[in-house]
Structure 1
């Protein structure tokens, strides 16, 4: 199944989005590219069996929780997200049609985690971080199996 080109996705979508909201850097960029690769294969805009949305496959409940419990304390980030969304109160459905917004929301999900990001070139560390922070303990992600996917994100 064909998907988006990883190099273009990284250079033209993830990097500029994270730079625009002030949450970039190589580690964050590689983490987000790897997350999209693992979650959707850069193919699926909606989860096949479940509610997750967009290339980063964030569930609407997670999206809404970010807005309700985290972003009120982060007015600069919230303002940047509203600009990306083009509306004052973005809804989860925008993660399907607005690539930059979906990317920014995935970054916000990671921003909420206490541990610092792994090194930008640590594929195993990025994969384990994805599992721990983004996917949850009961989720299907396998950090060992996904390490080569995060290496692909690093190499892109």
Structure 2
């Protein structure tokens, strides 16, 4: 079985299912679109599972979230969605949230990524809209200041799932 399918089956889906239960079990956090987008982010940001920590920078985990973003996310969740902060922390360290745990726990990195994507009001594109998912990843994950392009996200995803 390919690594992408294994990662979906044993990391992304179980994490999103648990987060969805914590959010009330309405199926909004564990959608096919969320699965595809997170896999796309992982495919590009980790160099197709090559890096769990950025080589020349602070970003952590297969999703390459920076510690400053993680810290902001923890504060935001604590104020606005404490139940989801608790749910995210089920995949991380006991005690205070710690961004460095994303390096050794892909589940924690996926949980943090999904929680971070909640900040944006724009709906996720459909799971089969790869161009839309790539645009979303560039706009909200990489931002206009980042080096990546929409094509980088889409191509990494396609290479990973082929």
Q: TM-score of the superposition, structure 1-length normalised?
A: 0.90
The match for 2:25 is none
Q: 1:57 aligns with which of 64, 83, 96?
A: 64
User: Which of residues 139, 143, 156 in structure 2 aligns to 1:149?
Assistant: 156
What are the Cα deviations for residues 102-151 of structure 1, in whole angstroms up to 9, with x where unaligned? 10001111111110000011000000000000111010111034323334
- Give the Cα–Cα distance (whole angstroms) in 2 for the partners of residues 32 and 109 of structure 1: 11
RMSD: 1.7
> For this pair of structures, how many residues does the alignment match?
152
Structure 1 position 26 matched with structure 2 position 32: yes
Structure 2: how far apart are the matches of 1:32 and 1:11?
13
1:67 maps to 74
Structure 2 Cα separation of the partners of residues 152 and 15 of structure 1: 20
Partner of 1:95: 102
Q: Aligned with 1:131: secondary structure?
A: helix
Contact (CA 8 Å) 1:51, 1:60: kept in 2 or not? Answer: yes
Long gaps (5+) in structure 1: none
Q: TM-score, normalising length from structure 2?
A: 0.87
Counterparts in 2 of 1:68-87, with a 5 A limit? 68-87=75-94
Mapped partners of 2:159, 2:19: distance in 1: 24
Q: Distance between the aligned counterparts of 2:78 and 2:124, measured in 1?
A: 20
For 1:44 and 1:95, how far apart are their aligned partners in 2? Answer: 12
